[in-house]
Amino acid sequence: MAVVHLIGDYPIHQTIQWIKQELPKTVLSLVFVDEGSIDSDSYLMVYEKYFMRVKNRVSLSIMLK
């Protein structure tokens, strides 16, 4: 499992919209699974991709704080 921490200056709602628009453009067959607020300042987004050659799924979880 890989963990990447990034820091930015954009508001959380603007970052969420950017991720929703740009991420599916860069990864083929990426499926949006779910999203939701964890608390007042945390947001979680979950994506999934299926790889036919290994017949398995990979999950991408994005937590914004």
Tokens of residue 59, six digits: 């999950």
pLDDT of residue 41: 86
| Domain spans, the chain | 12-64
What is the C-alpha separation between 13 and 27, in angstroms, rounded?
22
Amino acid sitting at position 27: V
d(CA 27, CA 49): 9
- pLDDT of 2 reads 85
**Could you read off the pLDDT of 10-61 as tens digits, one per residue?**
999 999 999 999 998 888 889 999 999 998 889 999 999 999 889 999 999 9
pLDDT at 24: 87
pTM of structure? 0.82
- Residue 47: how many other CB atoms lie within 10 Å: 19
